[in-house]
Amino acid sequence: MFDMEKFSLNGKIALITGASYGIGFAIATAYARAGATIVFNDINEELVAKGMAAYEAEGIKAHGYVCDVTNEDAVNELIAKVEKEVGVIDVLVNNAGIIKRTPMLEMSAKDFRQVIDIDLNGPFIMSKAVLPSMIQKGHGKIINICSMMSELGRETVSAYAAAKGGLKMLTRNICSEFGSHNIQCNGIGPGYIATPQTAPLREIQPDGSRHPFDQFIIAKTPAARWGNPEDLMGPAVFLASDASDFVNGHVLYVDGGILAYIGKQPE
Ligand code: NAP
Ligand code: GCO
């Protein structure tokens, strides 16, 4: 017998990384509305304070912590602190991420490594830290925020595409290694979403026209619009809920149809 309560997050504790604003903030807000207790981290005190104020403005009592997802010692301390102060994490969303848009021949190995470190090593470190308690508890959800670049390349994003392609395969590997513990690890692959990370791609040009890349994405998206962080809320709640307990190793693309579409044909 199906019960809509399966979509509820009542009683669950969710940790969303890099969630002071943007996609992470939207997902955390949706989780709070679905009944979860919200825990989030960000890279510095100022961002955590900004996030706390934003959650409070939404009527959400969040637990915010400063933690760099690439620092394994700091992450292990974070998880121990959260388990002591809030409780065992039921849902981890690996959302924190950066992008560097640089032609490959101009990109330093240092910059390439930094993107891989945050976007791929970070989710590995965070997942490794929460899995023992999920195994002990007998269930858990890990959701990795992938990308169109988990499937497609484009000029200037070599490091980001490599990281997000790796994150898709890390998702499948966590599924494979921990599925028997009733732990589901899935990805969400947002399309082009209007957040600070993509703001440079949407800047209005000096002549008042839309950015060429903005026009490009509109032509590549059947929905003929950029996504909003709110478009990710429903899919994120589904993947965190009991309703998705037999969905594992999957990347759910929330892209307005980009991956299915060759692009708007000439008139
Ligand atoms: P965003 O606006 O740049 O927010 C990312 C958040 O992660 C920021 O708060 C950032 O802090 C934080 N962060 C960066 N490095 C960190 C670290 N080492 N430890 C902890 N937190 C860290 O990005 P977004 O657009 O919301 O995207 C969120 C996720 O979705 C990212 O993984 C991104 O790759 C992915 N994504 C975005 C889009 C899109 O179109 N926007 C589409 C597909 C996937 P700072 O402010 O200091 O950088
Ligand atoms: C870019 C964009 C994309 C989006 C997203 C698409 O420069 O191409 O930033 O990478 O962030 O990852 O899914």
- 173-189 pLDDT, tens digit per residue, is 999 999 999 999 999 99
Residue 150 Cβ inside 6 Å of ligand 1? The answer reads no
Residue 191 Cβ inside 6 Å of ligand 2? The answer reads yes
Are the beta carbons of 33 and 99 closer than 8 angstroms? no
Query: Per-residue pLDDT for 247 more than 90?
Result: yes
Query: Per-residue pLDDT for 2 more than 90?
Result: no
Mean pLDDT of the residues in the chain:
97
pLDDT of residue 197: 94
pLDDT of residue 233: 98
Gap from CA of 216 to ligand 2 centroid (Å): 13
Strands 37-42, 13-17: pairing is parallel
Instruction: State pTM to two decimals.
Output: 0.98
Instruction: State the ligand closest to the CA atom of 23.
Output: 1
Residue bearing the CA closest to ligand 1, atom 45? 43
Euclidean distance between CA atoms 188 and 174, whole angstroms = 15
Q: What is the pLDDT of residues 88-123, one digit of tens each?
A: 999 999 999 999 999 999 999 999 999 999 999 999
Gap from CA of 82 to ligand 2 centroid (Å): 31
Instruction: State the ligand closest to the CA atom of 24.
Output: 1
